[in-house]
Amino acid sequence: MKPPSFLLPLAALLVLPTAVFAQDAALDLAPSGASASLGCLPIDVTLSPKSPATLRKPPAGLTAPEYGAITVGSGTHLRRMTVIVDNPPGKAPRLFLDLNSNGDFSDPITWTRQRQASPDGEMRVFYLGFASIPLPGTAIPVQIGLYRVVSPGGTAATKNPLVCFADYYFTGNMTFGAETDAVVLQDAHLTGPSGIHPGMPAGDWTLLIDRNRNGALGERGEVFDVAQPFNIGGVSYEISAMAADAHSLTLVKSARSVPEVAPAPVLAIGRKAPGFTAQTLSGKPVTFPDYYRGRLVLLQFWATWCPNCRKEMPDLSRAFNAYHARGVDFLGVSLDKAGQTAAVLAYTQAHRMPWPQIYDGKYLDAAVAQVYDLHSTPGLFLVDADTGKIVAMGAALRGENLTTTLEQALADRGR
């Protein structure tokens, strides 16, 4: 599970609409599963060794407790739940949550030790658990999650905060002009349905719209702060309210005009590969894929810091030597940080990568990576430069599959 950053840095006020248009979109509640299918919207919970005054009956056997509070609901439905993380020396931490906010605690919440690689390859160790609470402002049971990154040993207390998130979400459909798109609504700050209203704080709720209809929510141009107007198809809309029973959402046209953000490209076999113009490290301009007319071209996103990139370099190097003369070109895009030109060039020499390289020093925000909406490495795409379409991608271009894929692609072109 990787806590993604969905929230956009937008202002805090919702402008009331003047248009007559209004649409009530039906919603279905998924009481759990957001972290597995969508990613979570993290809320930091500060922990302190100081016991709160509201603690009436602490759990038995605490040895090194830290205390914090999780706020849920809004307005008249606002309440605080005390949370305790106990860190017994040499043992796994224990997690307790005052689910009914009465200062009394039941059995600890089960959380398990997890390991996950970060985008730069570093291994993180954390504890993850879940608890059931009423959807704020209702009696409907939903699930929240809690996790904490710990030291590599997994037993010592750390300065890292406890993190909680709504594991529940809502699904439905909304119509924008002549198009109907699937939508997902996430409660970023555990405010519940009453938290959606004119003047609501920015960031409390997040709306995801599958604008490119590829079933993958959360891509560029698909994530919106419910507190702000958003533009779909040249029309600015906003969310005005959520039903108290959480079964519908009201969409209206906004009196405030905002620019549209183009959705991410659909990267799939048979779809057009996004084009771009860039300059290689040798100073040569390249317009992709037109520059490679008459050939196949393998577009490679990589970085010197990427261990998985390093693993696949020998296969790529052998494939370049075997297939370049038969009509296959390679083009590399380095996602290294600024000031690494010499390191990138040295790496390509050491790993026998004679193909052209594009590098702008912008790390994961590299210009070509932005065109492809890529946020990690490695990434591989085989493109037919004549049609501009993606012929193969990902696993089909790795290991033993690479040779098979290139042979088939050349055969399909009559080579």
Say which residues have a Cβ less than 8 Å from residue 11's Cβ, sequence separation at least 6: 202, 228
| 241/198 Cα distance (integer angstroms) | 8
**Averaged pLDDT, 97-123:** 81
pLDDT in tens, 3-56: 433 333 333 333 433 445 789 999 999 999 999 988 889 999 999 999 998 888
User: At 246, phi and psi to the nearest 5?
Assistant: 65, 20
In a domain, 261, yes or no: no
Domain CATH for 309: 3.40.30.10
- Residue 54 and residue 110 in one domain: yes
- Residue 100 and residue 26 in one domain: no
What residues make up the domain containing 298? Answer: 276-412
Distances (CA, A) of 355 to 83, 103, 113, 183, 329: 55, 65, 43, 42, 8
Choosing from 145, 166, 187, the residue where a domain stops is 166
- Residue 296 and residue 323 in one domain: yes
- Residue 191 and residue 217 in one domain: yes
In a domain, 285, yes or no: yes
- Residue 186 and residue 284 in one domain: no
Q: How many domains does the chain have?
A: 3
| 379/360 Cα distance (integer angstroms) | 17
- Residue 337 and residue 391 in one domain: yes
Choosing from 141, 166, 191, the residue where a domain stops is 166
User: In the chain, count of helices (H) and strands (E)?
Assistant: 5, 23
**Averaged pLDDT, 244-261:** 91
In a domain, 264, yes or no: no
Q: By percentage, how much of the chain surpasses pLDDT 70?
A: 92
Q: CA-based Rg of the chain, rounded to a whole angstrom?
A: 25
Mean pLDDT of the chain: 89
Confidence at residue 76, expressed as pLDDT on a 0 to 100 scale: 87
- Residue 293 and residue 404 in one domain: yes
DSSP H or E stretch at residue 370: helix 367-372
- Residue 206 and residue 248 in one domain: yes
pLDDT in tens, 326-382: 999 999 999 999 999 999 999 999 999 999 999 999 999 999 999 998 888 999 999
- Residue 390 and residue 297 in one domain: yes
In a domain, 394, yes or no: yes
- Residue 26 and residue 175 in one domain: yes
In a domain, 303, yes or no: yes
- Residue 29 and residue 178 in one domain: yes
- For residue 251, give the nearest of 304, 199, 177, 321 by alpha carbon: 177
| 287/279 Cα distance (integer angstroms) | 9
- Residue 245 and residue 172 in one domain: yes
pLDDT in tens, 379-403: 999 999 999 999 999 999 999 999 9
Choosing from 142, 166, 190, the residue where a domain stops is 166
